[in-house]
Amino acid sequence: MPYSPLLVKPLKKELTSVGFKELLTADEVDAAMAEAATGVTLIAINSITGVAANVARPGVRIALESDGKHPDRLFTVFDEQDLEATAQMRGYFPDIPPSHPSFALFKDGELVYFIPRHRIEGRDAQQVAAALTDAFEEHCQ
């Protein structure tokens, strides 16, 4: 059962305020992933968890504020709220077990990098930012 939209609104805003486009339906996910067929796209699977609040969202914001290369597109789904969109997004990386929060990086429609929850837990925001920045440097133009 989804959380109250009032509860998750500020958690979503932490990502949309830095350029992520929120995907709410399966159709929106499919349209976004059609765009991801070219260039580099970062997907954030957002979550209400403490690890999302304290590490994942701050980490991705730090990475996107850094100098250097960045993805062409930023999309996000919210795991415990937008169930249809999240399930549809996970269909684009079916070999990876569900994980939230997590980050998926696509280049020309192909998954090239993934950070699951177990690689976010136990780290701090700077370490997650460094991992994302390294992935951006490797895969972005």
Q: What is the pLDDT of residues 45-83, one digit of tens each?
A: 999 999 999 999 999 999 999 999 999 999 999 998 999
User: What percent of the chain stands above pLDDT 70?
Assistant: 99
Residue type present at position 19: G
Q: What is the model's pTM?
A: 0.96
Specify burial of residue 19 (Cβ count, 10 A radius: 0-12, 13-18, 19+).
Answer: middle
Q: Is 1 a residue whose pLDDT tops 90? A: no
Residue-averaged pLDDT of the chain: 96
Domain ranges of the chain: 5-139
Q: Does domain 5-139 have CATH number 3.40.50.2000?
A: no
Cβ atoms 82, 90 nearer than 8 A: no
C-alpha 141/C-alpha 5 separation (Å) is 36
